[in-house]
A and B are shown apart, each in its own frame.
Chain A
Amino acid sequence: MATETQRDQWIGYETKKQFWEAVKSRYVAHAFMFLTLFVVLAPLTWMFLTSLKPNDAVFAQTYLPTTPFQGAVEAYGSALVTKGHWKAAMNSLIIAITSTTIVMALGTPAGYVFSRYRFRFDDAMFLLVIVTRLFPPIGLIIPYYQIMAYLNLLNTRTGIIIAQIYLWLPLVIYTMRNFYITIPTSLDESAKVDGCTDFQAFRHVILPLVMPGVAASAILTFLFSWREFLFAFIVSTDLQSTTLPVAVYQYIGDIQIQWASLSAAGTMSIIPAVLVVFVFQKYIVSGLTGGAVKE
């Protein structure tokens, strides 16, 4: 420390201090955030702008669409009707809601047991949950493809939902456990002293208290499920069952990529996710941090 202080004196302590005060000022913070937001939002904006242009006008050197209304009708019309992506949008919604419901119904009680009870192999079982969460899903595409083929579930929504249960159930068990841990066990105990059974203590005392955690986990699961690409793509490429992110990718196979329609489909796959983030930001942050670290 002594040498550092000496060095500070040589450089000029006050100058240095003033410099760092300036860096810390909120004007610098705002300027930095505007730059960040440009890098974050410009690509999304560009895709949206492209979706408002007719397909043969996307290569013209104009940034803003000249005929936004006509362009939108053409691009979204082509994506939704001609390509039939309204079906993919429906599938996405059905798959995300069903997966979220199943995963929450299984994971919410399971997380409670892990947060409260010690029993034989409890650490081993909990380890299974964490390992499942950390396991690279890409490694399972061949086995999944073969099992789904065997069960006749290729090109079905059920096939995608089963894969999604594998993907998100461990996340929910783990995240919910972390939410339960923040609720003192003395509450369970006093409920039981008052005559509640174990079930009643869980159902009537703890579950209502952990509802913000349930909401956070459910919103996260819905978002993850909506974004999922790999398994939806492996299990199904058929519009009767596949999801929106996979449908967007199908433009790539065309000889001439129709960027306006692709952007329209892409925008449709983005808008619900972005809206969910804006409305439920607090829950998503608490779910993400709860799923990553204990508190």
Chain B
Amino acid sequence: MNDHIRKILLGPGLLTLFLVFIYPVVYMFYQSFFTNITSGFDGEFVGLQNYATLFQSGRFIGNFITTLQYSFGSVIFATLAGLGIALAIQQVESDRLQDIYVSLVMAAWSIPLATAGLMWRWILQGQTGVLNTILQELGLITTNIPWLADSTLALVAVTFVDGWVRMPFAMIIIYAGLQSIPQHMYDAVKVDGATTLEAFRHVTLPYLRPSLFVAILINWMFAWRAFDIVFGMTNGGPGTATEVLSITLYRQGMELFKFGYTNAIAVVLVLVTMVVGAFYVKVILQRVDEV
């Protein structure tokens, strides 16, 4: 009977997952060892040639570093902002107002990332963007700042916007973590005469560690592979200043049709994610044993 229910309830889901996931993944790995496969299995086996080309390419190394800067910058901003906002919302007395604040912050999270990218591209436009207009009217700048046309500024801008869209998720996870801290812990340290800062350091932070861990890890994994924001804002430009690996992958694959080479990039991207993901999985599986 047990066998039965497992097969019927789990079978269709797993089978579907297997079909829509495993086959493309195997095909991805397979292609990375071949010259361009245009259909089926028609390429020529070249071993690690695609990978060798990859790591000899200065552009790939450069884009790898850009991706690291982008993903770490985004996560640092998202986590600090998320933590600050979660703490602020918790200080608000009325539950209703807390809900409204959470909903409004979540508005930034719910919109399509590609739309968010285009929206910011419009705001940050060098000549006609509203940010420059506002800064000029406030007298803070005299000439327009080319936010998306300058290499350094463009990378800062896309990193900020990526953090902007990821901040609400960090906020939610941290906010949920905050609510699980028992009030009597705060009462206890208050009796000891602890200041707010000490209570934060000795009660809040230790309790928040799992939430922060999850928020940072998940946001980083998603920022590491992020495509929509950069594609919408700069499409990797100016030049290759904001060309993160997902954009490289898209350009090499869907624009230049270098399938073998592109899949080698994909494998590198996947392996880095999986190394980091392993930490997350380890934590999850540990919890499974506790059930």
Residues facing B in A108-146 (CB within 8 A) are: 109-110, 112-114, 117, 119, 123, 125-132, 134-146
Contact present for A20 and B195 (CB under 8 Å): yes
Residues in B with CB closer than 8 Å to A226 are 112
Given that A33-B92, A147-B23 are contacting pairs, would A41 and B107 also be in contact in the complex, using a CB cutoff of 8 Å?
yes
In the bound complex, what is the Cα–Cα distance between A262 and B119 (angstroms)?
Answer: 9
CB of A181 within 8 Å of the partner chain? yes
- B residues 211-228 in Cβ contact with A at 8 Å: 211, 214-215, 218, 221, 224-225, 227-228
Contact A202 B172 (CB under 8 A): no
Q: Interface residues of B, CB < 8 Å — how many?
A: 103
Answer whether residue B62 sits at the interface, using C-beta atoms and an 8 A cutoff. no
- The residue among B108, B123, B262 with the most chain A CB atoms within 10 A of its own CB is B108
Whether A278 pairs with B28 at a CB distance below 8 angstroms is no
User: SS class of chain B's interface: helix, strand, loop or mixed?
Assistant: helix
Question: Is B159 interfacial (CB 8 A cutoff)?
Answer: no
Q: List residues of B (76-97) whose CB comes within 8 Å of A's CBs.
A: 81, 84-85, 88-89, 91-93
Who on chain A is nearest to B272 by CB? Answer: A136
The interface size bin for chain A is: 35 or more
Contacts of B89 in A (CB 8 A): 29, 33
Stretch of B44-52, B144-152, B279-287 lying at the A interface: B279-287
Q: Are A29 and B92 in contact (CB under 8 A)?
A: yes
Contact with A along B28-61 (1 / 0, CB 8 A): 1001000001111000000000000000000000
* A-contacting residues, B173-222, CB 8 Å: 173, 176, 180, 195-197, 210-211, 214-215, 218, 221
Residues of B with C-beta under 8 A to A139: 28, 225, 249, 266-267, 269-270
Known contacts A162-B20, A262-B122, A281-B99: does B266 contact A40 (CB below 8 Å)? no
Complex partner residue of A245 from B25, B114, B221, CB under 8 angstroms: B114
Cross-chain contact A266 with B115 (CB below 8 angstroms): yes
CB distance from A145 to the nearest CB of B (A): 7
CB distance from A171 to the nearest CB of B (A): 11
- Across the interface, A292 reaches (CB within 8 A) one of B16, B109, B173, namely B173
Identify the 3 closest CB pairs spanning chains A and B, nearest first.
Answer: A110-B13, A20-B196, A109-B9
